[in-house]
Chains A and B, each alone.
Chain A
């Protein structure tokens, strides 16, 4: 600011006079605190000082004068008593004023020093404290004083005018401007914001919840009475209640900036310590979150930012070499997205080296060599979140020993959030955290066990399945499992977990839950709707019960416990290991294969009944007889714009065949994008059964065996053989020349699978030797040479696990690739078999994939 030297000089002189008056005045006051005249004089002096320093733009001086004036006005109005601490602070203020004036005299500018700012804060806080003292006084007294004050004020303004006239001499032309400056913005801030105890807000929140319940009851009652006026008032009540609840929730919200703003300092210090240059951008600092979440998110964020600077951003010289700007960019971004808040940490550093992670994972045994070949980038990146995984080769002090990321993930998941990493090598890394807006209100699925309701947080929910417990659940010992699209999921019955006695109704509702680590199924009595619930904590008596995370009040005022999915999964923890042990042990299980089941499709051709695993059929449909056309001497139909050859089984197997019908059922079989249809009279239905069959009576090519089902002989057809008979070239697509002569040892106890797999392998040109169990396999291996072994897991005598271990332990065969085929598709088992040395793991009926795997392993 440019101002006349003379005016400044006048200001200094006048201020110095003022200071002397102030000092004298305070000392006089201490002797006689009730001297109103002295107080008035002091107030006026401070007021002029404030005005003048504001005019010159001396902000600090102005603020000190402002607060002092404020205190003096309270003393003058008798709102507070003059006590020692007040005199102390006011004298201190005079000292600072003196110091500042002295500085201005020399430098023509205000000093910028921490101690002055500190004092300003002290003064401001002291002023706040005094305000509280006033509030403690009884109201009547204050009112009386208020009246007195008003009278005083009138005199005051008159006096002030005289005062101002003097000043006009000094700065007539800028008078108006001065008055604007006097009204400091800080004063307004103090009036529009108040501090409120968080507990008070929590209580308000509770009461709002109660109000909602009361409202709901009133709404129900009004619907009964059907009174128009009542209904209208209830509607208004309802609206106001909702609005109030939302507003109260807002009081707990805080801008995320309150923690974001701490990061510039952290980033600066860290970058400096590491010799890096980092430019931090904060975006969306105004995004609001519940205060409890803001608190909880701070540590994970700090950790991620440290990681980004320590591991992500390169040192300046390296960046220049790479053609990047010297200064690295780190963006901390927050925004709302569909009821959640997303926080992103984005850096333009070196990115995460996936290969390095892979190497590390192998070294540390997180994955096997076989897995390493198949594992996706995403899966590898997720290894970062495993305990004990760190990618920096030299562990730095700053980001610690890699203990962080698993904790970061756990903390975020505790909040009901999720974390995701995306990275481009050499370009940078993006970490995305999604967290709910509030912990207090979450969407949840309401279920019931007996007559009580329970809430399951929606974030843990995968899907709902309607099951028939008798048929759809597999039992191993006391443990139940459900097969969800090939994956085996342990099943808990809620009533059993809760140890509820009494009769269990048939439970058909299976809730599939995601614990983050795996899926579990929870069988419940009933499923209600999904609701927004208010989470309330449980008392300390329940802290040791892992399956609850709180309780909530339902619309009817009754309570429901909130289930903790991770806690629930502990109830299956032991049994999963048990089932694995069972598969490992050699002593039990003689009829293991009886537990293996397949779903068969039963169909009739004329009077004969047939069965085929439904997994092999791609579609079922009905066609009219006149849709069957003859083309090139073969029967075909046009199905979905595709020419599909039709196969009549009676042409290949001695059957009576069928009479001509108006319409037929067609079973479609698709492989390698080629489809054919098998004509049949009618579809009987599906049946889940063991793959045990009898052989010997129907020794035709294309029939694997038979079984009596419901008193009728059912023939199991070998679809591969039949299609081959129809068209010997059907499957010969791209079988490589080499593998034609490869010898395969097939170890499978079920004659059904053994026959089928052997047939289709022979069909594509392998030489297949089939044996019934591991023991026979080992005998065979001792006398013959094989290029590949395909084995089942569940077998009598020596099972698949034992066999693999034995093979891998024998130098002569330890290099023969092993493919495990099983009907037990499950991630746990897959890991298990790969761990003990199998090269691949396939589901039995997936012929196409098995062939691909064989080609891969033999090449």
Chain B
């Protein structure tokens, strides 16, 4: 069940214009503490401010609970806990991720960043010196002029 129309994000348009030039990937970026993360825009369903989460007692620590997204039960994940980020994070937004064949999943994030076009050829391996979070969920890194973008292995995050 996909709410195709809700993807009004500029994702589609950008892709259209970029096709002519180089083959790039559109990334939705967001902040958690000092870290800047990226998720392919094609995976993102919507970003949602309403945080009315019903806790599910006895569930895993990194599960915050469930929420009602237009009649669908969406599982809400505490991404900071999942990635073991030892910074104090104040969740403000729900980043709703599509999950093939299942109900969507929400990751609570602190702040949304820009929508970026990245060139796949410039993706780099995760450096060893990256610290302060669990590296197993980071697929690649991408050097931005002023910052390092951490590309999240979103499949792994939600399937684990």
Residues of A within 8 A of B (CB): 199, 202-203, 206-207, 209-210, 213, 452, 498-500, 536-542, 545, 547-548, 551, 553, 557-561
Which of chain B's residues have a CB closer than 8 A to the CB of A541?
59-60, 63, 75, 77
Which A residues are in CB contact (< 8 Å) with B60? 541
Q: Is the CB of B52 within 8 A of A558?
A: yes
Which residues in B have their C-beta under 8 angstroms from that of A210? 70-71
Contacting residue for B58 out of A206, A547, A551, CB 8 A: A547
Asked if B143 is at the interface of the complex by the 8 Å CB criterion, the answer is no
Given known A203-B1, A206-B1, A539-B75, contact A559–B68 (CB-CB < 8 A): yes
Chain B contact residues: helix, strand, loop or mixed: loop
Residues of chain B lying within 8 A (CB to CB) of residue A558: 52, 54, 68
A561 and B63 contact, CB distance less than 8 A: no
Q: Is the CB of A498 within 8 A of B57?
A: yes
State the CA gap A500–B55 with chains docked (Å). 11
Rounded to whole angstroms, the CA-CA distance of A207 and B5 in the bound complex is: 14
Q: Are A207 and B59 in contact (CB under 8 A)?
A: no
- Contact call B71/A498, Cβ cutoff below 8 A: no
Residue of B nearest to A545 (CB): B58
In the complex, which residues of chain B have a beta carbon less than 8 angstroms from the beta carbon of A199?
A: 1
Most buried by A among B1, B58, B66, B71: B71
In the assembled complex, the Cα of A142 lies from the Cα of B102 at a distance in Å of 37
Among B52, B57, B77, which residue has the most Cβ atoms of chain A within 10 A? B57
Q: How far is the CA of A6 from the CA of B159 in the complex (A)?
A: 75
- Chain B contact residue count (CB 8 A cutoff): 22
**Roughly how many angstroms separate A540 CA and B60 CA in the complex, as a whole number?**
12
In the complex, the answer to whether B66 meets A500 with C-beta atoms within 8 Å is: no
Residues of A within 8 A of B75 (CB): 538-539, 541-542
Query: Which B residues touch A537, using CB under 8 A?
Result: 73, 103
A212 nearest in chain B by CB position: B71
A536 contact set on B, CB distance < 8 A? 72-73
Judge whether B103 and A206 touch: CB under 8 Å.
no
Residue B96 is within 8 A (CB to CB) of chain A in the complex: no
Asked if A559 and B67 make an inter-chain contact with CB atoms under 8 angstroms apart, the answer reads yes
Contacts A206-B71, A545-B56, A558-B54 given: A538-B66 contact, CB under 8 Å? yes
Which of A498, A548, A553 makes the CB contact (< 8 A) with B68?
A553
Cα separation A540 to B103 with both chains bound (whole Å):
10
Interface 0/1 of B102-121, CB less than 8 Å to A: 11010000000000000000
Within the complex, the shortest CB–CB distance from B142 to chain A, in Å, comes to: 29
Q: Provide the residues of chain A in CB contact with B102, threshold 8 Å.
A: 539-540
A-chain residues with CB within 8 Å of residue B70 when the two chains form the complex: 206-207, 210
Contacts of A203 in B (CB 8 A): 1
Chain B nearest CB, measured from A204 CB (Å) = 10
Q: Is the CB of B56 within 8 A of A548?
A: yes
- Which 8 residue pairs across A and B have the least CB separation, nearest first? A498-B57, A539-B75, A206-B71, A559-B54, A210-B71, A203-B1, A536-B73, A209-B71
Could you say which of A203, A210, A558, A559 has the most chain B C-beta atoms within 10 Å of its C-beta?
A559
Which residues in B have some Cβ–Cβ distance to A below 8 Å?
1, 52, 54-60, 63, 66-68, 70-73, 75, 77, 102-103, 105
Measured in the bound complex, the distance between the Cα atoms of B59 and A541 in whole Å is 8
Chain B residues lying within 8 Å of A542, measured Cβ to Cβ, are 56, 59, 63, 75
Enumerate chain A residues within 8 angstroms of B71, measured Cβ to Cβ.
206-207, 209-210, 213, 553
Q: In whole angstroms, what is the CA distance A175 to B7 when docked?
A: 60
A450 to chain B, nearest CB (A): 9
A499 vs B57: C-alpha distance in the bound complex, in angstroms? 7
Chain A residues with CB below 8 A from B68, complex form: 553, 557-559
Closest Cβ of chain B to A565, distance in Å, is 16
Q: How far is the CA of A537 from the CA of B103 in the complex (A)?
A: 9
A547 — which chain B residues lie within 8 A by C-beta?
A: 58
Nearest-Cβ distance from residue B84 to partner chain A, whole angstroms: 17
- Report the Cα distance A493→B72, complex, angstroms: 30
Q: Give Cα A349 to B149, complex, Å.
A: 75
Q: Are A539 and B73 in touch, CB under 8 angstroms?
A: yes
With A538-B66, A557-B68 already in contact, the answer to whether A202 and B59 are too (CB < 8 A) is no
A561 close to B1 (CB less than 8 A): no
15 A-B pairs (CB sep. < 8 Å): A210-B70, A498-B57, A499-B57, A539-B66, A539-B102, A541-B77, A542-B75, A551-B66, A553-B71, A553-B73, A558-B54, A559-B66, A559-B67, A559-B73, A561-B66
> B54 contacts which chain A residues (CB < 8 A)?
452, 551, 558-561
Known: A210-B70, A557-B68. 12 other contacts (CB 8 A): A203-B1, A452-B54, A536-B73, A538-B56, A538-B73, A538-B75, A539-B66, A542-B56, A542-B63, A547-B58, A551-B66, A559-B68
Shortest CB-to-CB span from A824 to chain B, Å, is 32
Q: Is the CB of B73 within 8 A of A551?
A: yes
Complex Cα distance, B73 from A542, in Å, reads 12
What is the CB-to-nearest-CB distance from A771 to chain B, in angstroms, rounded to a whole number? 50
A498 to B57, CA, bound (A): 5
Q: Are B1 and A202 in contact (CB under 8 A)?
A: yes
- Whether the Cβ atoms of B58 and A539 lie closer than 8 Å is no
Q: Please, which residues of chain A bring their CB within 8 A of the CB of B1? A: 199, 202-203, 206
**How far does the Cβ of B71 sit from chain A's closest Cβ, in whole Å?**
4
Chain A contacts for B77, CB-based, 8 A: 541
CA distance A65 to B73 in the complex (A): 52
* CB closest chain-B residue, reference A500: B57
Q: Which residues of A contact B66 (CB under 8 A)?
A: 538-539, 551, 559, 561
| CA A507 to CA B6, docked complex, whole Å | 45
Nearest chain-A residue to B60 (Cβ)? A541
